[in-house]
A = this chain, B = another copy of it.
Amino acid sequence: MAKVLNVGMIGYGFMGRAHSNAYCQVNHFFDVPFRPVLKAACARNVEKLKAFAEQWGYESLETDWRKLIERPDIDLVDICVPNNLHAEIAIAAAEAGKMVLCEKPLAMNAAEGQRMVEAVEKAGVANMVWYNYRRVPAVTLAKRLIEEGRLGRIFHYRAQFLQDWTINPEVPQGGTALWRLDVQAAGSGVTGDLLAHCIDTALWLNGPITRVSAMTETFVKQRKHTLTGKVEPVGIDDACAFLARFANGSLAVFESTRYARGHKALYTFEINGEHASIAWNLHDLHRLSYFDHRDEGKLRGWRSIHVTDHGGEHPYMDKWWVPGLQIGYEHTFIHQVADFLTALGKGELAEPTFRTALQTQKVCDAVLESGRTGQWVEVG
């Protein structure tokens, strides 16, 4: 019988919904030792908070996160607020002895992230960062193929995260909905928001990045600020591309932008190894492309693997429907919660921990520095 795990949710936005859904759904599909209970939701805007809590069935409300983390009936604090609030809340929650799950990116920068790591490790509390794309079944399958050594020596890694939603210069910055365009709240633009995902996956699949050379651009130089009502300079990077070298000798190209007309959330990656290559993209997340040079000559070709098959062959998919029926975006969060709860039952930590996620932060810092200086920068 699954034990209750009381969740205190801070934030009610896009991620607040995605995580709440994961807590609601995990026990319907996964046999895990804990049952998350939506104990309390916390935000400053009471009206919106109430609507959110009612929709998801949160049992109680808090408008001050400090009160939430002090509540003895809360086991786990989930941080779904803008990046500039992550560190303070996470450190306080850890000091209050709560498990801490934090939305990505971990922090505004590596220094902040370092303090967060120290806090959760000192407190000895379970912790995890929501780099959810690791749990797309096709991506998890890619990881397994790499671990099995199927690719051989890796020569190339390339990743993109392309969107187009800020091309219109009338889109304002700041406020609840658009804090991702406000450098004060977000810390950076596509680097922390989108490339962070690409980097997390890359470090997981291909090991450490040692150095980077980046180029950043802000196409729309000023936007009206939602909070001040004034047109203000835009401080974030609208686009960022960087060259990188991995410790294993492979070369990489990363690129992200919110100005790629026609792409909504096109996260792609491709890995070229000595024997085989792998490619994936988020717009068809249920498929993995795979090419194996060891296949018989005349039959070599890129395979489009519909990652929906059962029998434990395709990660997570034995928990869902029948072969051929695809799952969607939000399932990645359910998988992550399932893995977190399973690990918790064993006294272990699920990946990526704060410590793991700090490495992504360090690459982001190096990328942003290189973008400013035009020099190759070693990753700290």
| Contact size range, A | 35 or more
Are the CB atoms of A24 and B28 closer together than 8 Å? yes
Please report the C-alpha to C-alpha distance between residue A284 and residue B274 in the assembled complex, in whole angstroms. 25
Q: A residues 149-182 with Cβ under 8 Å of B?
A: 155-156, 158, 162-165, 167
Q: Are B265 and A241 in contact (CB under 8 A)?
A: no
Find the residue from A262, A273, A292, A306 having the highest chain B CB count within 10 A. Answer: A262
Within 8 A of B (CB), among A287-306: 288, 290-293, 295, 297-306
CB distance from A25 to the nearest CB of B (A): 8
Task: Give Cα A219–Cα B277 distance, bound, in whole angstroms.
Answer: 17
Chain B interface: which of A89-97, A100-108, A195-203, A308-316? A308-316
Which of A62-70, A223-231, A251-259 sits within the interface?
A251-259
Chain A 2-38, CB within 8 Å of chain B: the 1/0 string?
0000000000001000101100110110000000000
Given A167-B274, A245-B215, do A265 and B297 touch, yes or no (CB 8 Å)? no
Q: Are A283 and B251 in contact (CB under 8 A)?
A: no
Q: Tell me if A324 and B285 are in contact (CB < 8 A).
A: no
The answer to whether the Cβ of A282 comes within 8 Å of any Cβ in the partner chain is yes
Additional pairs, 15, CB under 8 Å, beyond known A292-B299, A374-B375: A21-B28, A25-B25, A155-B259, A164-B272, A214-B243, A241-B253, A253-B253, A257-B272, A265-B323, A266-B324, A282-B324, A284-B284, A299-B305, A320-B330, A325-B329
Q: How far is the CB of A246 from chain B (nearest CB, A)?
A: 11
Tell which of B243, B257, B327, B330 touches A215, judged by Cβ atoms closer than 8 Å.
B243
A215-B251, A262-B277, A322-B265 given as contacts; is B303 within 8 A of A303 (CB)? yes
Known: A324-B283, A328-B331. A304 touches B304 (CB 8 A): yes
Q: Cβ of A158: which chain B residues have Cβ within 8 Å of it?
A: 255
- Chain A contact residues, CB within 8 Å of chain B: 14, 18, 20-21, 24-25, 27-28, 55-56, 141, 144-145, 155-156, 158, 162-165, 167, 213-215, 217, 219, 239, 241-243, 245, 249, 251, 253, 255, 257, 259-266, 272-277, 282-286, 288, 290-293, 295, 297-306, 308-309, 311, 313-314, 320-331, 374-376
